[in-house]
Amino acid sequence: MNRTPKGQLSKSDVPSATDPEILQRLACGELSALGELYDQYNGIVRRFIARATADAEDVDDLVHLTFLAAAKSAKKYDGRASCRPWLMGIAVQLLRRRRRGLGRFLGLLSALIGSRSGNVDPRAALHARNDVKRALLQLSEPKRVTFLMAELEGLSCDEIAGALGIPIGTVWTRLHAARRELRQLLEGDREP
Amino acid sequence: MTAPRCPRVFEAEAMRDGRLTGAERAAFERHTTQCADCAHEVGALDELAQRVLEMPDCALDELHVRRERTRVLAAFDESLVLPRQRPGRGWWLAFPGVVAALATALFVYWRARPVSQVERTPNVVVHPESSAAWSKRTEGNREIVTLEQGALWIHVEHAANPRRLIVVLPDGELEDTGTTFTVSVERGHTQRVAVRDGTVVLRIQGQPSVGLGPGETWAPSVTPAAAIPAITSAATEHPSSEPMPTEAPSAVPVRAPAASAPVTAAGASGEFRLAMSAFRAGDNVRAAAAFATFLAKYTSDERAQDAAYLRLIALQRAGHESEMKQAAREYLRLFPAGFRRTEVQRLTVP
């Protein structure tokens, strides 16, 4: 049905809530809580996904799925003051799932038509708009998302480790490797 | 031959990642003031981060954000009202067969596909009025029709068209989720939207989104203060077979006919439709009464919670404060765990 009155209560009626409060209300199925979460984090999640994925067409869908998954998992939220790392972790899981699904499909297609097989998404090059983006897309996905979480989103290594469910040592290793590869790629671009 | 680097260069990255703290960090910071290698390394790491931060963002217009927000809320709302049925275990037995059939079909299609074949045109039929100024383009999985002036009759064959159709209007946009409708624009403002089959969602800047169903027509309200756009059942005003609006679109809000439209109330669905029709037309008193009747007769219907909520909203809009508060308490009594309860609780506070 058409829920026309959605949003009839203006934001001014609603006191600004903390992330744990919003997620608690969301866990109880409160629709307006999802709206608040979306308003607060849509831009951040979108920016992160847009930089982490090669396919601009996927961004809307991945943002959509991230917030839906967050709504469904709100009961499991651990109550930290900021849910940003948690949302990023959900987005990374969805990115990984999307890449695996696409990789399998492309592999199957390549095998069927007898062409050269590979796991590289051919759309990547089409959407690389500048050298930094192009260099980022040449990193493996684990290194790329770890680097973006640290340098773009400003998350601490502890927060990244928690969001991705990996040891902090792995975060440091990925960051080091990502920086080294990026610097090589970008310095290579500068050479005539 | 490159000159040997300072053995403490690695600490630049350690400091950046928060691995150096306290005295170690202070010592390294002092060191960088004297060591060119380490100072260069710290600068290089800063520059790398800066280049990532300066990557251009894809600019998003407000309507796009609103559309995506509505999509997320609607999907979540739907999942609350209609919990998804999990496929049974038997589905997995059929999975290999489905994959094999799909792969075969893809292979046959790929082989048979002519090299010069262009992308398949989706089945969107647009009949423009002779003076209409419009254009059509494809963006990803969206067909975008831009209407600047005049009227369009649009039919979308959804079975053949997995893409979404967006009609961009000078003052908003219209998302097709149905099949056949007309839309007209005059002097930079949307004048009329009439839906023959299916549904559309109309988003006019500064106004709440409006869903229009079969036979419904939207026209702009005269005063900006009118919060609810005028919607009426087109069944009484325009014959459903009308392919294009032949008369000049009227800017006068179409209100009364919908409320008095002879919608047949056949069972729960009919009564709910009747109430919604009055609600959308802005006849809040009639809508509140119709929702109350629905609620009394069909308490266990899945739309009962919506009816209870819409009833109190209708009463609020009608200015019946005390009745609204009573309706709010009724909602909380009937649906103590309802997903609108927080909003409703707020309404009961004196």
Rg (CA), chain B: 29
Find chain B residues with C-beta within 8 A of A32's C-beta.
Answer: 342-343
Residues A128-157: pLDDT tens digits?
446 788 888 888 888 999 999 998 888 889
Residues A99-113: pLDDT tens digits?
766 656 655 665 555
A5: nearest CB among B69, B313, B337:
B313
Q: How confident is the model at residue B2 (pLDDT cuts 50, 70, 90)?
A: low
- Cα–Cα dist B292/B290, whole Å: 5
Return the top range by mean pLDDT from A5-14, A120-129, B38-47, B258-267. B38-47
Q: How confident is the model at residue A10 (pLDDT cuts 50, 70, 90)?
A: very low
What would the mean pLDDT of B68-95 be, rounded to a whole number? 69
Point out the least confidently predicted range of B38-52, B112-126, B142-156, B245-259: B245-259
Residue A132: its pLDDT value, please? 81
Res. A124: pLDDT tops 50: no
Point out the least confidently predicted range of B32-41, B116-125, B155-164: B116-125
What would the mean pLDDT of B312-328 be, rounded to a whole number? 87
Residues B174-196: pLDDT tens digits?
887 666 888 888 878 888 888 87
What would the mean pLDDT of A72-91 be, rounded to a whole number? 88
Q: Nearest Cα to B76, choosing from A16, A61, A31, A47? A: A31
Cα A174 versus chain centre, distance: 17
What would the mean pLDDT of B65-90 be, rounded to a whole number? 70
Q: Kindly list the distances between the CA atom of residue B170 and the CA atoms of B67, B183, B207, B225, B255, in Å, as whole numbers in the listed order.
A: 16, 12, 14, 20, 24
Res. B129: pLDDT tops 70: yes
In the chain, the amino acid numbered A14 is: V
The answer to whether the Cβ–Cβ distance between A8 and B342 falls below 8 Å is no
- Cα–Cα dist B238/B218, whole Å: 12
Residue A172: its pLDDT value, please? 92
Residue A176: its pLDDT value, please? 92
Q: Share the mean pLDDT of chain A.
A: 77
Helix or strand holding residue B167 (H, E): strand B164-169
Chain B: closest CA distance from residue A98 (Å): 17
How crowded is residue B346: how many other Cβ atoms within 10 Å of its Cβ? 12
Residue B247: its pLDDT value, please? 35
Q: Indicate the DSSP class of residue B165.
A: E
Complete DSSP assignment for B201-266: EEEETTS--EEE-TTEEEE--SSTT--SPEEEEHHHHS-TT--S--SPPP-S---HHHHH------
Q: Is A69 on the interface with B (CB under 8 A)?
A: no
Find chain B residues with C-beta within 8 A of A50's C-beta.
Answer: 57-58
Res. B257: pLDDT tops 50: no
Counting Cβ atoms within 10 Å, is residue B248 exposed (0-12), middle (13-18) or buried (19+)?
exposed
A152: nearest CB among B52, B110, B343:
B52
Return the top range by mean pLDDT from A71-75, B152-156, B244-248. A71-75
Q: Indicate the DSSP class of residue A10.
A: -
Res. B230: pLDDT tops 50: no
- Cα–Cα dist B250/A136, whole Å: 54
Residues B150-178: pLDDT tens digits?
888 888 776 555 667 888 888 888 887 66
Residues B76-85: pLDDT tens digits?
877 765 555 5
Residues A154-183: pLDDT tens digits?
888 988 998 888 999 999 999 999 999 988
Here the tokens at position B285 are 């008193």
Res. A44: pLDDT tops 60: yes
Q: Which of residues 27-46 of A touch B (CB under 8 A)?
A: 28-32, 34-35, 38-39, 42, 46
Here the tokens at position B169 are 């209007």
**Cβ contacts of A177 within 8 Å, gap of 6 or more:** A143
- Cα–Cα dist A68/B74, whole Å: 10
Q: Is A119 on the interface with B (CB under 8 A)?
A: no
CA-nearest residue to A187 within chain B is B48
What would the mean pLDDT of B221-240 be, rounded to a whole number? 40
Percentage of chain B lying above the pLDDT 70 cut:
73
| Contact in structure between A88 and A130 (CB atoms under 8 Å) | no
- Cα–Cα dist B254/B139, whole Å: 35
- Cα–Cα dist B40/B50, whole Å: 15
Residue B59: its pLDDT value, please? 63
What would the mean pLDDT of A4-22 be, rounded to a whole number? 57
Q: Nearest Cα to B340, choosing from B348, B332, B330? A: B332
Counting Cβ atoms within 10 Å, is residue B289 exposed (0-12), middle (13-18) or buried (19+)?
middle
Here the tokens at position B208 are 């709440």
Q: Nearest Cα to B57, choosing from A46, A41, A179, A144? A: A46
- Cα–Cα dist B189/B169, whole Å: 8
Residue A173: its pLDDT value, please? 92
Residue A133: its pLDDT value, please? 81
- Cα–Cα dist A97/A103, whole Å: 10
In the chain, the amino acid numbered A192 is: P
Res. A47: pLDDT tops 60: yes
**Cα atoms in the 13 Å half-sphere on the side-chain side of B25:** 10
Q: How confident is the model at residue B250 (pLDDT cuts 50, 70, 90)?
A: very low
- Cα–Cα dist A77/A93, whole Å: 16
CA-nearest residue to A29 within chain B is B339
Q: Nearest Cα to B340, choosing from B80, B110, B156? A: B80
Residues B8-29: pLDDT tens digits?
888 898 998 888 888 888 899 8
Residue A147: its pLDDT value, please? 92
Q: Indicate the DSSP class of residue A28.
A: T
Residue B223: its pLDDT value, please? 40
How crowded is residue B93: how many other Cβ atoms within 10 Å of its Cβ? 9
Residue B262: its pLDDT value, please? 37
Res. A21: pLDDT tops 60: yes
Res. A83: pLDDT tops 80: yes
Residue A103: its pLDDT value, please? 59
